[in-house]
Amino acid sequence: MEISKIPYPDLSLQSLPYSLNPDQLRERLITLDFRENDVFRFALGCEDEKSRKIRFAYLSALFHIQVVRADIKNTEPMKTYEREKGVRFDLLIEVEDDKGQILLVNIEMQNYQMGRRLSLRSQGYLARIVADQLNANNLYEFNPVVQLMILNRSPQVQEWDGYLHHYRYFSEEKGKRLPDERCQILWIEMDKLEELESKPVEEWKMEEKIHYMLRFSHVAEKQNIIHELVEKEEIIKMMEEKKVDFLRDTSLAIARLRAKFDELDYELEIAESRLEGKREGKHEGRLEGKLEGQRTLIKLVLGKRMELSTENEKQIDSLDEQALLELTQVIDTIYTSQDLHHQIQTITKQNSRAAETILSR
């Protein structure tokens, strides 16, 4: 069946401000792949209600717990020394269940063949998250950590094994788990989820539905199944709605933002030519007006995907012309307050170093 002829739930596609007809919009939506980091983080890593519900449902089902809190943490930990290799996590989540137990879950979406590096990378990420929790006052106390690797297929796993692989610390002799064990690694091979197609979607587990959606939502041949999942499961419908939000709030908003910046630059050039030879104060007033417009546009774009706090707005207001330009160039990587703080901190440090270099010459 052609994509355009598949009956589709109303996801308010017509509200997207594109000059495309509904069929073209639907085709554009289907091409979005959850395995792309930006789309994945937008769906599960934002601070809006849909993303929170998706996180709660996914983590509750996967770990057989009742999640009451799932907060996005800083995805780029600070280096402890200058030459240390930088690490950036896809999605680091602090989870709390209904019993008050805390769990740190790092989700890595791997949309390429990793070969034998998968095991080493999994262990390296897990070790880093444990190490970041340790401190001098309580050197050996840390919250449990799960390193979750979501990938298409792993060459390190036997062909006949299932799609979910759970690695923990065990005694080889007795087969018993290590006392007070707090480290786990999970590998999920999404390609193997095609085996689910032999049974009705009503019999699929919640985590299976979400994994299938992550892997196959963009595949034309799977759209009948995707449509059925979207119709019958509220969480899956929210995932599809997040795709719509991504198109509307990210792609278009960024395009408009950059177009507006170009317009402001053009207006400033005209203003500067007219003001040439006049008082400096008027020039500065025009420049500040341009910067204020840029700050407002950045707040509007970010406000569509996260809740901007007063502190967030103050951080944006403190940026100069160069810093605002650099923030615009990375705005499509910002989904949370932590992301915003990290990017502003990075830009400020880079500009400060550049200024010091110039002064030292």
Range of the domain at 304: 247-360
39: pLDDT strictly greater than 50: yes
Q: Looking at 185-194, 237-246, 251-260, which range is the least confident one?
A: 251-260
Amino acid type, 227: H
Say whether both 161 and 188 belong to one domain.
yes
Q: Which range, 19-28, 183-192, 302-311, 325-334, has the best average confidence (pLDDT)?
A: 183-192
Say whether both 217 and 283 belong to one domain.
no
Asked if residue 1 is part of any domain, the answer here is no
Say whether both 149 and 284 belong to one domain.
no
The Cα–Cα gap between 149 and 27 comes to 29
26: pLDDT strictly greater than 80: no
Say whether both 333 and 184 belong to one domain.
no
Say whether both 203 and 276 belong to one domain.
no
Q: What is the mean pLDDT of residues 140-151?
A: 94
Instruction: Name the more confident of 37 and 43.
Output: 43
The average confidence (pLDDT) of the chain is 81
Asked if residue 198 is part of any domain, the answer here is yes
pLDDT for the residue numbered 308: 85
Q: What is the mean pLDDT of residues 299-307?
A: 78
pLDDT for the residue numbered 203: 96
Asked if residue 179 is part of any domain, the answer here is yes
Percent of the residues in the chain that have a pLDDT greater than 90, as a whole number:
42
Q: Which of 232, 264, 291 lies at the terminal end of a domain, its last residue?
A: 232
Asked if residue 14 is part of any domain, the answer here is no
pLDDT for the residue numbered 81: 42
Asked if residue 301 is part of any domain, the answer here is yes
Angle of helix 49-63 relative to helix 37-44, nearest 10 degrees, comes to 90
pLDDT for the residue numbered 267: 59
Asked if residue 11 is part of any domain, the answer here is no
Q: What is the mean pLDDT of residues 75-104?
A: 74
Give residue 275's pLDDT band: very low, low, confident or very high (50, 70, 90): low
Asked if residue 6 is part of any domain, the answer here is no
Q: What is the mean pLDDT of residues 69-83?
A: 67
Asked if residue 242 is part of any domain, the answer here is no
Say whether both 91 and 147 belong to one domain.
yes
136: pLDDT strictly greater than 90: no
Say whether both 283 and 181 belong to one domain.
no
- Residue (of 75, 127, 125, 161) closest to 341 by Cα position: 75
Q: What is the mean pLDDT of residues 107-122?
A: 82
- Residue (of 199, 222, 223) closest to 7 by Cα position: 223
Say whether both 125 and 265 belong to one domain.
no
83: pLDDT strictly greater than 50: no
Say whether both 107 and 41 belong to one domain.
yes
Say whether both 63 and 184 belong to one domain.
yes
Q: Which residues on neighbouring strands pair with residue 167, listed in sequence order?
A: 185
Give residue 162's pLDDT band: very low, low, confident or very high (50, 70, 90): confident
Say whether both 151 and 50 belong to one domain.
yes
154: pLDDT strictly greater than 60: yes
Say whether both 32 and 126 belong to one domain.
yes
Instruction: Name the more confident of 267 and 101.
Output: 101
Residues whose CB falls within 8 Å of the CB of residue 37, separated by 6 or more in sequence, listed in order: 90, 109, 111
Q: Number of folded domains in the chain? A: 2
